[in-house]
């Protein structure tokens, strides 16, 4: 044996932590080197935000409020939904980059090395959640710049809002990782993950569910975005949360668990 490498074999936890942080650094390096992908994914929520505020803002607010046009009221209504849509859009990138990793040889190399296996996925998940939070801050800043104000929210509510965003990002990330793992190509992964950015369009992000056609209301109501948007609105703007908080929490935990077990079982199968 050579004299230069003889690290004592650390415990499983140490190995998992060390390998995971290495993998995370690799993914963050990718994001930093190729910011165009991140920015491209931010384009949709930012465009929709500006479009709905400046082009449709007066009509939307008049239609929702039933009274006169009030663009600033509509900004307040819109921003929480746009923030969650930002998370949905960002995780599409996660699905694509996981799929890209799997189709290239590098993961096969990782699989033949004595490392903590899960660290490959953990690196993607933590990287994706951080990327989501960065994107949310970026889009949120645009919201503030065009007039969004979270007046009256306490520090605790701010923290809860942040926690909700992080949890939602974690849930969608695990689903996106699963999609990335089962997709044969990065292009297919991008297509398969599209619902993550389409679902907010049919949620209460742009108009209240009550203003939608009756037959469509259950579709808008019983999906993860609507209760999460309502909860975020309540935390930031002081509107009624009601049972939405618990429903949102259940959705997030359920999706995270589903995505986790789906990803794990797919990843542990023999590669092709």
H, E, C per residue of 224-265: CHHHHHHHHHHHHHCCCCCCHHHHHHHHHHHHHHHHHHHHHH
User: Minimum distance between the CB of residue 114 and another protein, rounded to whole angstroms?
Assistant: 4
Confirm if 227 and 251 have CB atoms less than 8 A apart: yes
Extract the tokens encoding 96. 């694509």
Burial class (CB in 10 A: 0-12, 13-18, 19+), 66: exposed
Cα–Cα distances (Å) from 78 to 75, 90, 107, 254, in that order, read 5, 18, 40, 26
Q: Which CB sits closer to another protein, 29 or 59? A: 29
Q: Which CB sits closer to another protein, 32 or 68? A: 32
User: Minimum distance between the CB of residue 95 and another protein, rounded to whole angstroms?
Assistant: 17
Q: Which CB sits closer to another protein, 33 or 213? A: 33
User: Minimum distance between the CB of residue 18 and another protein, rounded to whole angstroms?
Assistant: 6
Q: Which CB sits closer to another protein, 109 or 152? A: 109
Extract the tokens encoding 184. 């044969």
User: Minimum distance between the CB of residue 111 and another protein, rounded to whole angstroms?
Assistant: 6
Confirm if 234 and 241 have CB atoms less than 8 A apart: yes
User: Minimum distance between the CB of residue 170 and another protein, rounded to whole angstroms?
Assistant: 24
**Distance between CA atoms of 264 and 268, rounded to whole angstroms?**
6
Residues interacting with another protein, by CB under 8 A? 1-2, 4-5, 7, 10, 15, 18-19, 22, 25-26, 29-30, 33-34, 104-106, 108-115, 270-272
- The label of the residue with tokens 């089962």 reads 182
Q: Which CB sits closer to another protein, 25 or 159? A: 25
Helix (H/G/I), strand (E/B), else coil: 215: coil
User: Minimum distance between the CB of residue 101 and another protein, rounded to whole angstroms?
Assistant: 9
Q: Which CB sits closer to another protein, 12 or 213? A: 12
């Amino acid at each position: 044996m050579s004299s230069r490498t003889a690290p004592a074999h650390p415990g499983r936890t140490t190995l998992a932590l060390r390998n995971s942080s290495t993998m995370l650094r690799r993914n963050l390096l990718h994001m930093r080197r190729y910011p165009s992908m991140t920015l491209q994914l931010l384009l949709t929520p930012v465009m929709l935000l500006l479009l709905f505020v400046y082009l449709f803002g007066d009509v939307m607010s008049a239609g929702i409020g039933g009274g006169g046009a009030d663009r600033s009221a509509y900004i307040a209504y819109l921003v929480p939904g746009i923030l969650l849509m930002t998370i949905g859009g960002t995780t599409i990138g996660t699905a694509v980059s996981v799929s890209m990793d799997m189709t290239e040889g590098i993961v096969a190399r990782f699989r033949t090395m004595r490392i903590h296996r899960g660290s490959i996925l953990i690196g993607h998940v933590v990287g994706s959640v951080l990327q989501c939070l960065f994107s949310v801050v970026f889009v949120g800043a645009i919201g503030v710049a065009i007039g969004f104000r979270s007046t009256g929210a306490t520090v605790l509510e701010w923290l809860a809002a942040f926690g909700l965003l992080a949890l939602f990002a974690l849930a969608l990330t695990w689903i996106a990782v699963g999609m990335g793992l089962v997709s044969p190509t990065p292009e297919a992964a991008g297509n398969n993950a599209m619902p993550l950015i389409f679902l907010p369009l049919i949620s209460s992000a742009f108009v209240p569910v009550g203003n939608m056609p009756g037959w469509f209301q259950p579709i808008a109501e019983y999906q993860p975005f609507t209760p999460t948007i309502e909860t975020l609105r309540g935390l930031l703007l002081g509107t009624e949360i009601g049972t939405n908080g618990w429903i949102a929490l259940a959705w997030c935990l359920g999706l995270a668990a589903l995505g986790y077990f789906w990803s794990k079982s797919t990843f542990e199968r023999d590669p092709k």
